[in-house]
Amino acid sequence: MDRDPVNRSQIFLHFEQKQHIMPSQAVKRQGPETFHHALVQGDLALLKSMVGEYHEDVNLLFDICHGEMEWQAKPLAIGISGLWSLEYKRELTSPLCIAASRGYTSCLQYLLQRGAKPNLIPGSRSPLHLACANAYADCTELLLEYGANPRLQTEDGMGPLHLCDSPQSFWCAKLLLKYRADVNQLTEEDQETPLHVAAKQGLHSHAHLYLRYGASVDVMNVHQVSPLSCACASAVELAKQKDYLQVCKLLIAYSANVNSVDTEKRSPLHKASRNASAQLVQLLLTHGADVNAIDYNGCSPLANAIQAAPFKKELEPQRAVQTLLNHGSQRVWPGAFLKVLKSCADSPKTVEVLFNSYQQIQVTEEWMEAVPKEIFQVHRPFYESLFALASGPRSLQHLCRFAARKLFGKQCSTIVPQLPIPKRLHGYLLLEPEDLVY
pLDDT tens across 277-333, in order?
999 999 999 999 999 999 999 999 999 999 999 999 999 999 999 999 999 999 999
CA separation for the pair 145, 369 (Å, rounded): 71
pLDDT for position 64: 77
Angle at alpha carbon of residue 101, lines to 98 and 104, rounded to 5°: 75
Domains present along the chain, CATH in parentheses: 1-72+84-157 (1.25.40.20), 183-330 (1.25.40.20), 334-438 (no CATH)
| pLDDT tens string 336-369 | 999 999 999 999 999 999 999 999 999 999 999 9
pLDDT for position 392: 87
- Write out the DSSP string of 324-349: HHHTTPPPPPGGGHHHHHHHHTT-HH
Q: How far is CA 147 from the centre of its chain?
A: 32
Quote the DSSP letter at residue 315: G
SS3 content of the chain, % helix, strand, coil (to 5): 55, 5, 40
Query: Mind listing the pLDDT tens digit of every residue in the chain (438 residues)?
Result: 556 655 543 444 555 444 333 343 333 446 788 899 999 999 999 999 989 887 888 998 988 765 555 555 555 444 445 566 555 566 789 999 999 999 999 999 999 999 999 999 998 899 999 999 999 999 999 999 999 999 999 989 999 999 999 999 999 999 999 999 999 999 999 999 999 999 999 999 999 999 999 999 999 999 999 999 999 999 999 999 999 999 999 999 999 999 999 999 999 999 999 999 999 999 999 999 999 999 999 999 999 999 999 999 999 999 999 999 999 999 999 999 999 999 999 999 999 999 999 999 999 999 999 999 999 999 999 999 999 999 889 999 999 999 999 999 999 999 999 999 999 999 999 999 999 999
pLDDT for position 205: 98
| Identity at 202, one-letter amino acid code | G
167 φ/ψ angles, rounded to the nearest 5 degrees: -55, -35
Whether residue 189 contacts residue 156, with contact meaning beta carbons closer than 8 Å, is answered with: yes
Q: Which residues of 417-435 are buried (b: 16+ CB within 10 A; e: fewer)?
A: eeeeeeeeeeebbbbbbee
Q: In angstroms, what CA-CA distances link 315 with 200, 271, 360, 371, 436?
A: 19, 14, 28, 22, 21
Whether residue 278 contacts residue 305, with contact meaning beta carbons closer than 8 Å, is answered with: no
pLDDT for position 199: 98
70 φ/ψ angles, rounded to the nearest 5 degrees: -125, 145
pLDDT for position 99: 97
